[in-house]
Amino acid sequence: MDILKVIGPTVLAFFIGIFITPFFTRYFYKYKMWKSSARIHSDTSQAFGKIHNSEHEVSTPRVGGIIIWVSVLLTVIVIFIISKIFPAGLFGGEASIFKQLDFFSRSQTVVPLAAFFFAAIVGLIDDLLQIFGQGSYARDPLIYRKVKMVFVTLIGIAIGFWFYYKLDFISVHIPFFGEWWLGVWFIPFFVMVMLATFSTSVIDGIDGLAGGVLASCFTAFAAIAFLGNQYDISALSGAIAGGILAFLWFNVPPARFYMGETGMLSLTVILAVIAFLTDSVMLLPIIALPLVITSLSVILQVNVYKYFNKRRVFLVAPLHHHFQALGWSREKVVMRYWIVSVICAITGVILFLVS
């Protein structure tokens, strides 16, 4: 029954996502919910111009992440309502299968769900400002990046305080070494991890890339939570993975829509929260290695360009665009990222088991 509690929400979220996508797609295209200007203006290098499809970017909706979090929201609501309608089994003694499938719990999933949906709304507002907004905010990616960092910091502080004062989190587990006691420093550490995870949203640059990588990450944490007897968190992680796979069904090249900030912001925020709740945050850089190296490639490129006479480490940053500039096709980049993601996810789960 425990494994069914994870598989059930995962499958349900996937099919809900598939079912609602046509409705949202019509809405996205009807109101032309794509960027008013392409990213070609954010990188003037010749290599970036060669690999960048600006026409596709300004004609493809960028709020596809709605599919993911609406799928998860409806999955939570459907299972919760049915569990209340049918609380008992057929013979009245045991809890019904629907009651056992319910993963909405105060102890495990209320906090990550709250962070997930709040970040999704913040990301959606950001997307809408870029689509319909006027002025410097809509045109300057650095401005809205800084604004989002402020919001992520505030979210991190709020959740960090909740973890420290309400859930008594004062340490993190380091595989093979034991507990790292942080005390009150747990709060700034939590904020730092959340900001670092948010920085990995730069991976959303090629059709299907972010969805495949994040699906592997959440599947890994579903397994880790299950092995740690945190079945509600495991079910939530599975539901998110299911929603991502539904999104990915329509996001493979040529993408029907992009994930946008409403997807990337919500997913990176809850990824950090789940990593802490499962006490496996030190495995996050391994499980999410493709996200990490992509973010680091941007940081390295920016700093070398700024401090070393405008030199470049990569032909184009982030890293996946560098591979494109080397001549790899979009499909080859995406599939190889997916392969690495699966290997990293499996490695993370194994390390959790043996440590």
Q: What is the pLDDT of residue 262?
A: 95
Radius of gyration, CA atoms only, the chain: 20
Q: What is the pLDDT of residue 189?
A: 97
Q: What is the pLDDT of residue 270?
A: 97
Angle at 36 between CA 57 and CA 214, to 5 degrees: 45
Q: What is the pLDDT of residue 295?
A: 94
Q: What is the pLDDT of residue 68?
A: 97
Q: What is the pLDDT of residue 248?
A: 96
Is 5 in contact with 221 (CB distance < 8 Å)? Answer: no
The number of beta carbons lying within 10 Å of the beta carbon of residue 90 is 9
Is 131 in contact with 35 (CB distance < 8 Å)? Answer: yes
Q: What is the pLDDT of residue 131?
A: 87
Please report, for residues 69, 191, 222, 223, 233, the alpha-carbon distance to residue 5 in angstroms, rounded to integers and kept in the order given: 19, 31, 11, 12, 10
Q: What is the pLDDT of residue 309?
A: 83
Q: What is the pLDDT of residue 44?
A: 52
- Per-residue pLDDT of 212-242, as tens digits, reads 999 999 999 999 999 999 999 999 999 999 9
Q: What is the pLDDT of residue 54?
A: 57
Q: What is the pLDDT of residue 14?
A: 98
Q: Which residues of the chain have pLDDT under 70?
A: 1, 36-50, 52-57, 89-95, 134-142, 144
Q: Which of 230, 251, 81, 240 is nearest to 167 (CA)?
A: 230
